[in-house]
């Protein structure tokens, strides 16, 4: 925590900040804030400009963003986005996180185990069709089921017709539905990664801080039919980089913000949702540190989980810090009060939308009561029991069998025909599995269920069946055959009969949890998600009616355009400049004793004299981002790469619930630092040449 | 976590294990298990032997045990018991934890800021007098008030008469009351401490593990009237040490066990009490790691808190692991069912004691409802808000003023005339205070209140008064004058008027919390502690009637004698020998890369060749210990020092709730390793000579 977090957060809410000077907003590609861009920056993006940039960007299935940056399908992202794949490509003998990687030839490029990239190709507003089937007087729960059915039909129809991966996205928390069609790439190969020590220099200590000195980049290449993709669209490199004050765009996939929520909803985020997440993260962080401390091999296995947990913990701590300031919730209450008063003032509006705020409050209260069971057994793709890869696989197999036996439009999300290709890519992944670590993960999840529900809870009693949590985890992990891809395939293809007949202990555990998980999911859908989507649909309608259509929706892990200027800020009376340089890297290295998270790779020590000390390294800008934006390209007015987003500063963490640009900044690797280090440190001239189009 | 923890825990409960072969029990000095000792070890301690050993032992006010080991008042304890004082004696320029310390002359010995040692001098059974005032038909809450009054009177009377610090101890959870009289020493000076790197070699990773290689010792000297104490009683050193199979005694102050509790009570320990503690510990561990990572000076400031948190976290994890095994609670239920059936079978017993189990269950259910507020505002000397030293001081001042205005026997425990000398020693401590760290501690405590009670809780709203938690902490810490001892003294002496008139922000905060804290304390006393003491008094009476008087009570941070043999054990099919040696230290050092927690002090690297490789270093024995025993002497039949307890292995952690000696072991520094390293590594021959009586 830094002292600056204590500052009064002056946070605006999207709907009311339209004409503010702030560079706020994660804008839909088909609804850019053209007026603001013209007024503030004198820039008018053409439709071609937008389409070109949009089609040059990719979403990482594993979470994160990226962009195509050469005519031969080269993809740029962050090291910490690619690290999941680096880990899967590593072995006890070859630790790519430690050594880094460079393919000297295309033949040396390493195929990723289960990486999927999606490129947004087209958008269609399907709001009317999604809502068409809902008759007036239908309950919110039934209405949501009707909408989900319509969504499944629209997706299937589109995918069958176009061959493109098709997803209907709920925008404005239920105010609009857009159909997104993606080009899908699954042959993705590793080209270059620096050592984690320079990519994540400063570790958890400097994460979300600024100034920074990180080469947090990683390059892959897309293949089609075993040949490099001939990219129709890709982003060119600006070798001159950008300078202070320049307008830049960040184009990527922010995963989730919660800015449009009501004050009561924000109260539950503060007291229930995020507190529950933080408690699980603190716990898991300590457990992972203990596991990794036992040996260097265990450290290697658990490193990725630890990074993820620390990163989330620090991000959520920032959000909770904002939420715990009573002034924050008060502002939110005031803003919604104003909106609600405007609605209540007009009888027609009041009767259509006036109940929405109470409906949200009721849904959140229900969520509070469901929260423990939902987060344990179902949320986020399987609940905490699915810390274990094998357990997650078993849960998927059990559910898949049942869902596949239903008509497509009655299946749960994630199991429709349009989802199955991606599902199989994960399910049949040949990525390595480490038994000791799986036991630790599964035992941790089971113990958490005992801690949260208590040892006398009927589900816990049934789950343990007289065994200690770790004993149960050992039995399941040592006894399962799911380690073999062939066995997973056999069970997936065997359907309900194969699942019912299986004596595999991991499948048995998954079967046991499934009814509990389905029950809590159904309750969540009927009493939280359904009513809330409907209620927020009303609030969105009121907002559109009162403030106009020129608004951006909360983030949804779909493509957004943010804009802003490269600009430093002031902190505790000190000026924090926009750019850092190479000299700063070595200064920080010395200052922090050159050890631990501040150790430099030998290459960077040896190559020091070859680097220009004033070479820009990282920079900050005011463009609006959130988790999921990692790996997004930072482009200039010409759509050329000038940087690579890898972080936000600590003041930006509150952006989850509200934007402020007084101190909050996005943090980028400077494009020039990549080229310079490829040439002088990594002997990777050909990669630099490819980026520069030479 | 180790795999061995998964093993079925075969845990016996004190009352039913009297004639088992196990070396179980933390025995009262005036009620040693003479029959078992004679039968199993052929040893009959004389009354003189017991008194001599008892009067050679001391209790550390800061927590922990020790013993007087020379005619000149030299006191031996663990480094990790003394580390609190080492920290207080350190400055940014002189880090005694890092460098260690040796006073070459008595003049160089360093006086501790606020250390108090107590030596148990005599014991008197006052059960009848404590219970005498309670009339039949009195409610449990009122009865407990009556008993507390009687206790206050007995203590005051004894202290006035003898001049010895007098405390009435509740034994058998309410079955007996004994008056303990202590000699009290407050001029205690540091003589020797090794570097923390060798005292705590292996850090959190090897803590509670075995084999171990730790020189976890620290030596102080008691002064009286500015001269070294001429000890009437002290423990002599056995230069030959002990060998496998030898009978040894561990004599120290185990802080708390919970072995005699009912199954329902154990269920609350599992689901509420310990889970709540663990959640707070995981959280604080991550926060302290983050704080310490910011700079080496901040690391130095927070190091002691981090050690304490990690140590508790690992210990409680062991306890919870035992409790989460459904077989454990089942055994406890079975054992109490047997006892209860025996009570119910005899109408006279049934009418006197039969209701006790339901009374405990009701009290624990109430505790569950109070738990959050109690642990936040009152438990453990001020709740989590008192992470901050200054906040704890402010809380003490506010309460002291009010309590001092009452008659002695109506005051709260800790504020009676008999308590005040020790209270002032702490309150007026000149130990250093670090503002940044105080802010971190206080903000953490305030945030935890928001997390646990929610931002809309009336107490939280009142506390924050519109400010963010960290902002509030900054205002209180930067604005308070309590950093100055003189100001604390002024407020303490000024009583209620001075407190009421104070505008100090820390005092204002403490005043605000005080009514809340008193309310929850009163509820706890009336509805949990009172009824429970009374109910457990009945269960104890039933146990005495059915199983006889030859039982030990649960631990109470008072002097106990444990006995056992030096013996290795078997783990995952491997034999773990009882002793480790110097060669093992250097082997572990190499194996773990010689870095981090496994770095050795330069002295130990330089002195390696001078040490005998087969010199015993640490050993394990079956004697029964728990937290608080740290620093206890391990003595042979002649009462001579053969070792120094510093830890239990991971299997011993379950001893909190039940003893088993299949694998559980106490871990000791071998007496010979101390003498050897003093001579060869530390150039501390005179210290070795003093210990050997030369």
Peptide bond into B211 cis (omega under 30): yes
Contact B182, B118 (CB under 8 A): yes
**For chain B, domain boundaries:** 8-116+186-259+574-691, 119-184, 263-540
Residue B301 — φ and ψ, nearest 5°? -65, -40
* pLDDT band, very low/low/confident/very high, at A14 (cuts 50, 70, 90): very low
Q: What is the pLDDT of residue A136?
A: 85
> How is chain B split among helix, strand and coil, in percent rounded to 5?
55, 15, 30
Residue of B8, B284, B286 to mutate, testing the A interface (most A Cβ within 10 Å of its Cβ): B286
Contact A282 B279 (CB under 8 A): yes
Contact B282 A285 (CB under 8 A): yes
Q: What is the pLDDT of residue A297?
A: 94
Per-residue exposure over B112-141, b if at least 16 CB sit within 10 Å of its own CB, e if not: bbbbbbbbbbbbeebbebbeeebeeeeebb
Residue A100 — φ and ψ, nearest 5°? 75, 180
- Distance to chain A for B61, nearest Cα, Å: 30
- Distance to chain B for A384, nearest Cα, Å: 16
The 10s digit of each residue's pLDDT in B280-293 is: 999 999 999 999 99
The 10s digit of each residue's pLDDT in A48-96 is: 999 999 999 999 998 999 999 999 999 999 999 999 999 999 999 999 9
Residue among A553, A653, A452, A472 nearest A175 (CA): A553
Nearby residues of A568 by Cβ (< 8 Å), 6 or more positions away: A244, A575, A576, A577, A578, A620
Helix (H) or strand (E) holding A541: helix A530-547
Could you tell me which residue, B9 or B41, shows the higher pLDDT? B41
| pLDDT of B664 strictly over 70 | yes
* pLDDT band, very low/low/confident/very high, at B380 (cuts 50, 70, 90): confident
The 10s digit of each residue's pLDDT in A516-564 is: 999 999 999 999 999 999 999 999 999 999 999 889 999 999 999 999 9
- Is A204 an 8 Å CB contact of chain B? yes
* pLDDT band, very low/low/confident/very high, at A20 (cuts 50, 70, 90): very low
Residue among B690, B646, B563, B694 nearest B69 (CA): B690
Q: Specify burial of residue A220 (Cβ count, 10 A radius: 0-12, 13-18, 19+).
A: buried
- Window 5-64 of A: residues touching B by CB (8 A cutoff) are 5-6
| pLDDT of A672 strictly over 70 | yes
Work out the mean pLDDT of chain B and round it to a whole number: 94
- Give me the helices (H) in A270-325, please: 274-293, 296-323
CB atoms within 10 A of CB A497: 9
Interface confidence, given as ipTM, is 0.93
| pLDDT of B18 strictly over 60 | no
Residue B146 — φ and ψ, nearest 5°? -60, -45
Q: Which two tokens stand for residue A52?
A: 């070109």
Task: Please name the member of A279, A294, A468 whose beta carbon is closest to the beta carbon of B205.
Answer: A294
Residues of B in Cβ contact (< 8 Å) with A474: 3, 6
Residue among A594, A286, A568 nearest A448 (CA): A286
* pLDDT band, very low/low/confident/very high, at A572 (cuts 50, 70, 90): confident
* pLDDT band, very low/low/confident/very high, at B577 (cuts 50, 70, 90): very high
Q: What is the pLDDT of residue B21?
A: 64
The tally of CA atoms less than 13 A away on the side-chain side of residue B71 is 5
- The whole-angstrom separation of Cα B434 and Cα B291 is 13
The 10s digit of each residue's pLDDT in B451-480 is: 999 999 999 999 999 999 999 999 999 999
Work out the mean pLDDT of chain A and round it to a whole number: 94
Contact A13, A332 (CB under 8 A): yes
Q: Is the dihedral of CA A287, A289, A290, A296 positive or negative?
A: positive
pTM of this prediction exceeds 0.90: yes
| pLDDT of A2 strictly over 50 | no
- Is B450 an 8 Å CB contact of chain A? yes
The 10s digit of each residue's pLDDT in B536-556 is: 999 999 999 999 988 999 999
Q: Which two tokens stand for residue B139?
A: 């409610």
3-state secondary structure labels for all residues of B593-650: CCCHHHCCCHHHHHCHHHCCCCCEEEEEECCCCCCCCCCCEEECCCCCEEEEEEEECH
Q: What is the pLDDT of residue A506?
A: 97
Residues of B in Cβ contact (< 8 Å) with A440: 1
Task: Please name the member of A267, A323, A326 whose beta carbon is closest to the beta carbon of B466.
Answer: A326
Task: Please name the member of B3, B455, B593 whose beta carbon is closest to the beta carbon of A326.
Answer: B455
Residue among B678, B626, B93, B82 nearest B319 (CA): B626
Determine the topology of domain A3-116+186-255+554-692 in CATH.
Answer: Thrombin, subunit H (2.40.10)
* pLDDT band, very low/low/confident/very high, at B136 (cuts 50, 70, 90): confident
The 10s digit of each residue's pLDDT in A383-423 is: 877 789 999 999 999 999 999 999 999 999 999 999 999 99
The 10s digit of each residue's pLDDT in B514-532 is: 999 999 999 999 999 999 9
* pLDDT band, very low/low/confident/very high, at B686 (cuts 50, 70, 90): very high
Between the CA atoms of A29, A30, A32 and A38, what dihedral angle is there, to the nearest 10 degrees?
A: 120
3-state secondary structure labels for all residues of B334-376: HHHHHHHHHHHCCHHHHHHHCCHHHHHHHHHHHHHHHHHHHHH
- pLDDT > 90: what percent of chain A? 94
- The whole-angstrom separation of Cα B3 and Cα B22 is 24
Between the CA atoms of A582, A584, A590 and A592, what dihedral angle is there, to the nearest 10 degrees?
A: -120
- Is B270 an 8 Å CB contact of chain A? yes
- Is A464 an 8 Å CB contact of chain B? yes
Task: For residue B309, give the 3-state DSSP assignment.
Answer: helix
Q: What is the pLDDT of residue A21?
A: 64
Q: What is the pLDDT of residue B491?
A: 98
Per-residue exposure over A365-375, b if at least 16 CB sit within 10 Å of its own CB, e if not: ebbbebbbbbb
**DSSP string across B553-581:** PPP-SS-EEEEEEB--EEETTEEE-SEEE
Q: Which two tokens stand for residue A344?
A: 């209540």
Determine the topology of domain B8-116+186-259+574-691 in CATH.
Answer: Thrombin, subunit H (2.40.10)
- The whole-angstrom separation of Cα B538 and Cα B343 is 10
- The whole-angstrom separation of Cα B559 and Cα B556 is 8
Q: Is the dihedral of CA A636, A638, A641, A646 positive or negative?
A: positive
């Amino acid at each position: 925590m830094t002292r600056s977090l204590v500052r009064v957060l002056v946070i605006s809410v999207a709907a009311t900040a339209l004409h503010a000077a702030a560079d706020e907003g994660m804008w839909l590609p088909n609804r850019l804030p053209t007026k603001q861009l013209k007024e503030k920056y004198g820039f008018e993006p053409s439709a071609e400009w937008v389409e070109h940039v949009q089609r040059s960007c990719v979403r990482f299935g594993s979470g994160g963003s990226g962009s195509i940056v050469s005519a031969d399908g080269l993809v740029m992202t962050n090291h910490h986005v690619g690290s999941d794949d680096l880990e899967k490509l590593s072995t006890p003998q070859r630790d790519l996180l430690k050594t880094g990687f460079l393919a000297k030839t295309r033949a040396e490029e390493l195929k990723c185990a289960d990486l999927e990239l999606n490129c947004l190709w087209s958008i269609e507003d399907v709001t009317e069709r999604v809502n068409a089937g809902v008759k007036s007087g239908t309950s919110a729960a039934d209405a949501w089921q009707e909408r989900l059915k319509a969504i499944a039909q629209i997706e299937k129809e589109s995918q069958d017709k176009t061959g493109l991966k098709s997803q209907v996205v709920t925008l404005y928390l239920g105010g609009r539905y857009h159909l997104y069609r993606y080009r899908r790439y699954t042959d993705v190969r590793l080209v270059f990664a620096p050592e984690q020590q320079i990519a994540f220099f400063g570790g958890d200590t400097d994460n979300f801080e600024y100034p920074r000195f990180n080469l947090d980049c990683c390059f892959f290449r897309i293949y089609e039919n075993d040949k490099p993709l001939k990219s129709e669209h890709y982003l060119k490199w600006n070798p001159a980089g950008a300078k202070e004050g320049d307008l830049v765009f960040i184009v990527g996939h922010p995963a989730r913000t919660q800015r449009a929520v009501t004050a009561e909803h924000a109260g539950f985020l503060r007291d229930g949702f995020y507190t529950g997440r933080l408690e699980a993260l603190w716990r898991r962080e300590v457990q992972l540190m203990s596991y990794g401390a036992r040996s260097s091999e265990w450290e290697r296995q658990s490193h990725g989980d630890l990074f993820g947990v620390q990163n989330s913990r620090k991000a959520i701590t920032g959000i909770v810090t904002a939420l715990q300031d009573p002034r924050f919730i008060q502002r939110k209450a005031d803003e919604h009060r104003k909106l609600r008063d405007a609605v209540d003032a007009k009888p027609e509006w009041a009767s259509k939308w006036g109940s929405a705020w109470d409906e949200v409050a009721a849904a959140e209260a229900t969520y509070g009561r469901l929260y423990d069971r939902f987060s344990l057994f179902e949320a986020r793709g399987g609940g905490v029991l699915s810390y274990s890869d094998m357990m997650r696989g078993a849960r998927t197999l059990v559910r898949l069998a049942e869902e596949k036996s239903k008509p497509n439009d009655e299946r749960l999300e994630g199991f429709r025909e349009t989802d199955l290709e991606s599902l199989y890519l994960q399910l049949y992944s040949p990525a390595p599995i480490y038994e000791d670590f799986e036991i630790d993960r599964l035992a941790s999840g089971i113990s958490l269920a005992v801690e949260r529900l208590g040892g006398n809870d009927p589900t816990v009693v049934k789950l343990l069946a007289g065994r200690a949590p770790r004993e149960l985890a050992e039995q399941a992990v040592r006894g399962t055959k799911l380690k073999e891809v062939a066995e997973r395939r056999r069970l997936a293809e065997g359907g309900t009969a194969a699942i019912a007949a299986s004596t595999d202990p991991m499948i048995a555990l998954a079967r046991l949890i499934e009814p509990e998980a389905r029950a809590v999911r159904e309750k969540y859908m009927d009493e939280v998600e359904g009513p809330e989507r409907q209620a927020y649909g009303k609030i969105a309608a009121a907002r559109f009616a009162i403030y106009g259509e020129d608004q951006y929706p909360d983030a949804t892990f779909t493509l957004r355009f943010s804009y802003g200027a490269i600009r430093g800020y002031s902190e505790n009376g000190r000026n924090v400049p926009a750019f850092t340089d190479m000299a700063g890297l070595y200064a920080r290295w010395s200052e922090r004793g050159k050890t631990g998270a501040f150790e430099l790779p030998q290459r960077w020590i040896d190559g020091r004299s070859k680097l220009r000390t004033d070479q820009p390294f990282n920079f900050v800008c005011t463009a609006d981002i959130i988790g999921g934006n990692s790996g997004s390209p930072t482009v200039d007015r010409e759509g050329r790469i000038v940087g690579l987003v890898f972080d936000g500063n600590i003041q930006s963490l509150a952006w989850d619930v509200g934007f402020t640009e007084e101190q909050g900044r996005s943090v980028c690797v400077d494009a020039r630092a990549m080229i310079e280090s490829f040439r002088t440190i990594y002997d990777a001239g050909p990669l630099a040449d490819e980026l520069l189009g030479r």
